[in-house]
Each structure stands twice: as structure tokens, then as C-alpha cells.
Chains A and B, each alone.
Chain A
Amino acid sequence: MKEWNEYPDGWVWLGQILLVGAGIAAVVLLVRLLWRVATPYLAERPALDRPLGIAGGVVAIIGALLPWVTFVLNDGPYPDKATLQFFDSPWALSGFRLHTLIIGVLAIAVVFLPLPRRRVLRALGWGSIGIALVNILFPIIDGGGFGAITSDGESFAFGGIATLIAAVLLVFAAKAGGVLEPIPHWKSAVPTLVAYAVLVVSFVVLLLVVAMLLNSGGQGGVGNPYAGPIFLSLLAFLAGVLGALHAIGLTTWISALSDKHKWFSVIVLLVVALALPFTEAGTDYWMTTAANIGVYAATAIGLNIVVGLAGLLDLGYVAFLGIGAFVAANFSGAAAAAVGIELPFVVAALIAAVVAGIFGAVVGSPTLRVRGDYLAIVTLAFGEIFKKAAQNNIGGLTGGANAIPNVPPVSAFGQPFDQPLTIGSVELPSGVLYYVLIIVLVALVMVVFANLKNARIGRAWIAIREDEDAARAMGIKTGQAKILAFLIGAMLAGLAGAVFAHKTSTVAYDSFQFIESVTLLAAVILGGMGSIPGAVLGAALLLVLPEKLREFADYRLMLFGLALVLIMRFRPQGLVPDRHRRAELANEGAEGVPIEELNVHDDTPGDSKAVTR
């Protein structure tokens, strides 16, 4: 081992850091300069969008065909035959090279179509920037250095750089003329059958895309060291394509259709979710992960009532999940359970929900007097008190440091839920029953949430969130409403906790740490506060991303933090913002079009945007 505490190593190290910092700053400044110069130039020349788009498309196609990596990396060959030379096998492109090719072809095609081409080009451009960056950075960092993506003296690989240039051309093409075209509005008054067909097709496509995403790069591990970049690159491609579809108005149309045929969409979505085990993502691993996502999603929806609807910040919410889990574990017949009785799962789950709900009301009671961020610390304190109590085996109910192990799996009709299920000749992976159970639970929780939100109490919560004093003046019993929010939210979390106990088969105090509360809160905010699909999407992202990024084991937590920062930076209103909140929070017009795109451009945040807090 190198002797590291020797003067003057520090200065060398500091110099290196400063050098790297200066390098990054230089690149950033250069990019900004280019942006500053190019944007006004292009804004005055709308006619440039076509040539730039074609050029970008052509360069992207060339980039796809060029080799991307000069040599075989340490961990084995980079995927998709990245080292093959130009035209060694132009017809057998796969993976990210195929995606780049498709983007290039689409870019050229869209230029000649009567579509909002700048919008489409912009989406494709950002998508290919993502693809290029992932597949440039990874070979560099994986021990290849810059030689890996340029030249190692013998062979050349400029595919990545060409694609990056193509991507920049595409983004610039979108800047020509300065203004983006409006998103075309598609008629949503179509025959019901057509609408049904469109919805079924789009949800099935969604299912297949999800399955493809989950399975991209295989299960990873030593057999497939590049599963991480494959996944990220696919994500960038899909984002680009989705953006393009949004640009031509397709996604807005589909969402309008699904709004119109709400019940049909919900049923199709449920069926599609239940069909996931039959796709390529139907493995033990993804079923287990999906069930975990479900537990967190149900809890996040509960938290959404408290934070999203009633506007009460809660930093210790995981405690309710824990209370539910401990209650269920105690009634499960596990050897270490303090309560000797074994109750059927459904009964135990209901008791768990009730107990968690009572605690929710207790925790909520200071809200009668404590407001805002002060409340946040009270909830944080409660979370810590719960953890301490569980760790010290309070009342002999939590097993203390030994936890409550060997909680038996839920079973119904003699079928334990942790075993594989065979229906006829189809064998489904183990964990599939938990998946189904959790899907049902999430659906149930969603129904509860949706009904509450649109009921009198939901409107009361929203009123409290917007202005508590005004709400009180309007005759809303704010204290009752706030405690009710805590109570119902905690009940949902307790219900999820019951599933958690059986599924994880052990309930230990260290499963309910502060970071889990942060993850839950992040799921709610990431998805969009007050929005039901948002909470599910947020929970899914926050659990799937770390699983897909297992290849970066050491860096997992850091990437999690980085993702939080970036998402809040670029989409503070969340991914699927609640419709009512869109206008108030995100500077968006009622149609969901960002105001920024309506050409009210304001480059100096913090100065003059009128925002209601």
C-alpha cells in the first residue's frame, strides 16, 4: 500500500483536483458559450432547421455504423460489437448502435413530414445526447481512458463522438427559428371501440417497454458487466422516442382518451400489471423487486395524503410501515412473536392498519398547534423514537436487536406465497403471488385515495394546504381534517407493512431508518405531489434504479443522491404532476405546456417569476 500521509502529496493531489475542476468548468463554459452564440443566431434563421436536422440524422447514422470502442475493455468486450469497424457488419447493428441508427433515420424522416419537426428533433437530439454520453463515459471510466473512444494507435473509434455531434446538430435544429411549433391537438372524439383499441395497444406497448427496460442487459452480474450502461442507454433512447411521440401529440391524445374512458383504462392497466409475470421480466428477481416496489408505492400513496394533499411535511413516515410490520409479525405465528395467537393474514393486516392508524392520529395531534417545518421535526422525532423503541424491544414486541425472524409466508388455499405457482402447464416464478397481492393492495389504496381526494374531505385537505387560515375561515374543521389525514395515511402504510412483514420474512428495526423515510418522501415528490400515478411511478423509479444500477455497487448511494438533485433541478413539480397543481407550481399553462415554451422566457431564476407559494 502506498504511504499516503506524507507531505507534499497533498499539494499534488490538490493540484489534480483543481485541474480536473478547471477542466470540467472549461467544458461547461465552452458549452454555455456555444449555446449563447448559437441560440440567437439560429433564432433568426428558421430555415436552418431542415439542413441541420438532415445533417444531424446523417451524422447519427454514420455514428451508429462507426466503431465506438477501440479495444476490448478489462471487463470483456463492450456490448453490441462496439469495436467492429465501419461497415464490418452494417446490417447487424443491435443495442445502442441500432438505437442511434433509428434516431438518425427518424430525424431525416421527420424533416420531410408535416409534423412539428423542431419539437421532434429536440426530443431525438436529447435522447441521442444521452445515448452518446453513456456509451462514451462508460468505456472511458471502465479503464479505457480517452483512447478507448478515439484511437489507440492501431484502430479508431469515433462512433460516440460522431453521435454526440449529431445530437448537438439535432438540438440546434430545434433552436432554428427560436420558437417551437405548438403540439398538434388530436381529436379525442373517436368511436369508443377505436378508443378502446388505442388504449389497449398503448398499455400493452407500455408493458412490453417496461419488461424490456427491466430485462435490458440481462440480470447483470459477472456474466454481464455492462448491464448498467445498456440500461441507461436504453432509457435515454426511450426518453427520446417518448419525447418525439409527445411532440407529435400522441401521448396527450392517449391520455385524453384514457381520461375519457377512465374505468376502462383502470381495468386495462390492472390487467396489464397482472400480465407482467408472463413477460420476459417474469423472473423471481423482478417479482420480488416489483413486490417491494408495491409495498413502497402503497406507503407512498399514504404519505401522499399527508404531504401531497394536506401539505403536512412528514419526515418519519417509515415508522408507520414499521408499526404495521411489527403488528403483523406478532400475529403471524412466528416463533419469536410476543403474541401467541396466529391470525389469518387478512385479519392481521387489518389490525396492523388500525394500530398504525391510531399511532398516526397520535403523531398528527401536535399539528393542531405546530405548523410547517416545525411539524417536520416533530415527525422526524417520532420516527427516531419509534426506531429506538423497536431497537430496545419495547414491551417485548419487536424482538429488539434480534428482530422477529422467520415470519411465515402468507398462504391461501394451501399455496404458500413464496413458492412458484403452476397454473396448468405454465410455471410462474416464485414471488408472483406476492406480486399479485401487492398489485391488488396498490389498486385498493389507489381507489381509497382517489375517492378521498375528490370527496369533501379531500377538498378540505387541499384548502388547508393552500391556506390554512382561509380554510378555517371557510368553516373547515382544520384540526380534525389534519388528524384524519395522518390517520388514513398511517393506516395505508400499516397495511403495506403487513405485507412487508410476510414478504421479507423478518422484521428488524433497522429496516425502518431515516433514509427510508427520505426515499418515501422523494418518491412522492419525484412523482408529483398529490398525484396517484406519480407516487407509484416515483416509488418504482427509486427502487428500480438502484436495482438496475447494482453494477455500480460502490456508487449506488451517490447516484441516488445525484438523481434526487438533478430531478429536483429540472422537474421540481414531479414527473406526473397533479393537474390542479400544475398551474400553480410549475409555471405551466392549463394545458400542461410549460410557460417557458410559450415564449415567456426568463433566464434569471429568483428574480421576477410570479409564483404562488
Chain B
Amino acid sequence: MLTRIVRTKAEKGHHVRNQTVKAAVLVAGALLLAACGTNKTESGSGGGNNNQSCDQSKGTLVIGVIAPQSGGLSALGLGIKNSASLAADQANEKCVVPGYKLQVQTEDDQATAQVGAQAATRLSSNANVVGVVGTLNSSVAQSVQPILKGKNIVQVSPANTNPSLTRGAEYGTAPKRQFETYFRVCATDDLQGPFAAKYLVGKAGKKSIAIITDGKTYGEGLAAEFKKQAEKDGAKIVATAKVGEKDTDFSGVIGTISGSKPDAVYYGGEYPQAGPLSKQLKDAGLDIPVMGGDGIYDGKYIELGGKEGDLATSVGAPTDTLETAKAFVSAYKAKAYKDDFSAYGAFSYDATNAIIGALAKTLSGGDWSDAKRADLIKNVQSYSAEGATGEVKFDEYGDSTNKLLTVYKVSGGKWVADETGTFGG
């Protein structure tokens, strides 16, 4: 079975010595050749620098993005990534930060806390990372916050709506700032939920409401705040139900609420489930409006089955009245990204611009160093500008001061602004 090459002993010994020497010389020579030598540099310039009109001599500064890039939530995550890139590209074209080129580095968090923590650590160990835009999920934010705080890196979230991230567990009664590095541009649940309740109970006059949630942080928080206000305003919550996180057939859930004859449904969750839910409600004979938060304010909601008369709240003034919003939408379209900007694209754009704007002010022509981080945080805190979602400004907890909310209604196959206002408490 095993063959061997048979040689006479003498022959073998002779060969061995000879060859060993030869081989040794060869190896040594080659290693020598490889080790020493001239250092001729590569010709040709680096790619990607399409715009040389700005001074970018001082190098590259990085804005990190932490959001899901693969798996089920990637539609939202990719929108966040693209919108952040858009803001950075625009800043590069307009030379907003003289001397530096801005680049976005996106890290996938797979929508889980531990991968998010790794992503944050990776970004935070890069001295050129000035700030981080993210995260999408509140639970990921919880693990990212302390890591970025440890390195004094500013974080602006486009999508975390859990009020306790900024004001602590007792956010309603004894708010306390949790992380001075953490900011967000989106509205918290305790604004959006009550605002929706006021509209649905007060203006639309719905008195028996069913609440359906998807069991995730965003939907649960929003629905809880909605419920508090709705009950205060005299509506009756006739049924509550939860859909499975990945469920698509809601007939069972609809069956459980239909007995209590609600005249409206408040849905705490996002559009991929809300759209089909609205359609299946109608199919089951419950032709009542579905209302949700900014998670369902998306064109896809209507494509997926959102019906006429459905409602959604979203932060800021109506997008079609806001010049900045229109500019964002057309700039995004012009870039021809593969994915839609989705529910949080505009927020991500604003968050990135807040970091860039504060960075420009911090540096004001100077050089970036770790020592500048404290100033950068201060400048984000005092940042104020008109963004794609309206005014971008932060209060003493790091929340957006933009308490302006708009109710949109599906009408003629489109989201149409119905009422704009602030929630007064």
C-alpha cells in the first residue's frame, strides 16, 4: 500500500549533504533578497478623491455608523448608512471641515447588543473616529453608550426612541442625564405616543381603541405611552394583543380583538408588519383606521397594504413644506443608492450633519486630536440648525428639542400631512 522510494544508502547520504547545502544557500539568498532593498513607492494617486477642490491635506476623519447591515432589519440600517454617507459627501464637497476629508465607516451590529459592543469598540479604538451615528435598536444603544462614553466619543442616534436612554429609568418623574456623550435627533416615545393619543381620541373621536404591539422595544414603549394618554383622555382600550416578532399571518390576532369591536387600532411597531396588518384587518371585516408612530411612516407601508385613512405620527414639520427635507430627498435620489432611505434616513442625515457641524466649529481650522473631544461634545450640545426633519437642537438630557410632530394620513395612496403641533404635556 505504501510505496517508498528506495535508494542505496551511499547514494542517499551523498545527495542529502549536497542538496542540503544547496537548499540552505537558496533559502538564505532569497530571504536576504526579500529583506533588504530599495523602497520605491507606488505611482498613481489614491482612488476615490474625486473632488480635489477642497483642502484635504490633513487626512481623513471618520464618522462611524452602527446599524444592522445584514439580516432582517437591514432595510432600516442601510437607509441610515446611506443617509450618513450622503451628509459626509456633501460636507466634503462644500469643504465644511477644512483640511480634512470626512468618511463614513459603517459597522454591522446585527441588531444584537454584543455585536454592537464589538462594533463600538472597534470604532472607539480608532483615533480618527470623531463621532458615531447610531444605533437603530435601543437595546444595542444600551451596550454601545458606555463604551463610547469611556472614550469620550460623541454619539447621535437617529432612531432610539426609548426615553430612559437619555433620562434614566425614572424619566417621567425624576429625569437624570445618563451619558453626556449621547444625543438623539428623533422623538422619544413619551412625546409621540401621547401626541398620537390626543389626535386619535380628541380629533378623530375614537373612543374604543385596540392596541397591537410587536413586542420589541420601540413598539412596546410607544404603545405604553399612547395608552397612558389615551386613557387619560377618556378613551377605552378595549383590547391589547401582541404579534410575533416575525409573524406575517395576523388572522389569529385580529380574531382576538374583533370581538371587542374597536373603532381604531394603535400599532406599536414598524411598517413591514403594520402594512399587512392593516390589510388583513380590512379583509376580516374590520375597516377601521390603523395608527402608528414614525416606524410606519414609510411609503412601503402603503405598498404592503396600508389603507386609506390610516395614520402615523412623525417628528418635525411636514416634509413637503420643509425645503431642507425636499433637498434631502432629491439629493438622496440623485445618489442612486441601491436601497431606500427608509424610516430613519432623514434622521440619520441630520445626526451626521450635527456631528459634522459641531466638528467644523470645534476645529475651526485647527488640527484634530483626542483633546478636542470634550469641545466636540459641547458643540454638539449647543448645535442648532435646520435639518431634513426640522430644527435639530438638543436639550439638557441630549434629547431633540424639536418637539414638533405631524400626523400623516394615507390619502390617495400617499402619506398626506394632516395636523402639525407640539405635545404640551
* A residues in contact (CB < 8 Å) with B: 1, 46, 61, 71-77, 81, 83-84, 88-93, 98, 101-102, 105-106, 108-110, 112-114, 177, 179, 181-182, 219-223, 283-285, 288-289, 292, 335-336, 391-392, 400-403, 405-406, 418-419, 429-431, 500, 503-508, 510-511, 513, 547, 550, 553-558, 598-599
Query: Given the complex, which residues of A lie within 8 Å of B46, measured CB to CB?
Result: 72, 76-77
Stretch in contact with the other chain, from B21-29, B322-330, B357-365? B21-29
Does B258 have its Cβ within 8 Å of any Cβ on chain A? no
Q: How far is the CA of A239 from the CA of B138 in the complex (A)?
A: 41
Is there contact, CB below 8 Å, between A77 and B44? yes
Which residues of A lie under 8 Å from residue B27 when comparing CB positions? 105-106, 109
**Residue B216 interfacial (CB < 8 Å):** yes
Name A405's closest neighbour in chain B (CB-CB). B142
- Contact at A113–B47, with CB atoms within 8 Å? no
Residues of A near B41 (CB, < 8 A) are 81
Q: What's the nearest-Cβ distance from chain A to residue B60, in Å?
A: 7
Task: Give the nearest-CB partner of B217 in chain A.
Answer: A401
The total of Cβ contacts below 8 Å across the A-B interface reads 210
Instruction: Tell me if B114 counts as interface (CB < 8 A to partner A).
Output: yes
Residues of A near B245 (CB, < 8 A) are: 391
* Contacting pair B37 A91 (CB below 8 A): yes
| In the complex, chain B residues whose CB is within 8 Å of the CB of A81 | 41-42
Q: Are B114 and A598 in contact (CB under 8 A)?
A: no
CB of B37 within 8 A of CB of A403, answer no
Cα distance, A74 to B46, chains bound together (Å):
8
In the docked arrangement, what's the CA distance between A114 and B7, Å? 12
Give the distance to chain B from A123, nearest Cβ to Cβ, in Å: 17
Contact A77 B114 (CB under 8 A): no
Contact with A along B1-26 (1 / 0, CB 8 A): 11111000000100110011011001
Contact A418 B146 (CB under 8 A): yes
List of A residues within 8 angstroms of B117 by Cβ: 288, 292, 503-505
Contact A402–B220 (Cβ < 8 Å):
yes
For residue A391, which residue of chain B has the nearest CB? B215
Docked-complex contact A550 and B108, CB < 8 angstroms = yes
Check if B126 is an interface residue, CB within 8 A of chain A. yes
A108, A289, A506, A553: the one within 8 Å of B108 (CB): A553
Q: What chain A residues lie within 8 Å of B104 (beta carbons)? A: 222
Tell me the dominant secondary structure on chain B's binding face: mixed
What's the least CB distance linking B292 to chain A, in Å? 16
B400 in contact (CB, < 8 A): no
Complex contact A419–B150 (CB within 8 A): yes
Identify 4 new A-B residue pairs, CB closer than 8 A, beyond the known A401-B217, A419-B150. Answer: A108-B26, A112-B26, A418-B150, A506-B113
With an 8 A cutoff between CB atoms, is B105 at the interface? yes
- Least CB distance from B25 to A in Å reads 9
A75 to B47, CA, bound (A): 6
Inter-chain CA distance A229–B311, complex, in Å, is 48
For the complex, give the distance between the alpha carbons of A391 and B216 in Å: 8
6 nearest CB pairs, A to B: A91-B37, A112-B19, A506-B142, A508-B139, A405-B142, A401-B220
Any A CB within 8 A of the CB of B164: yes
- Residue from B37, B143, B164, B336 within 8 A of A90 (CB atoms): B37
Is residue B350 contacting chain A, with contact meaning CB distance below 8 A? no
- CB of B139 within 8 A of CB of A101, answer no
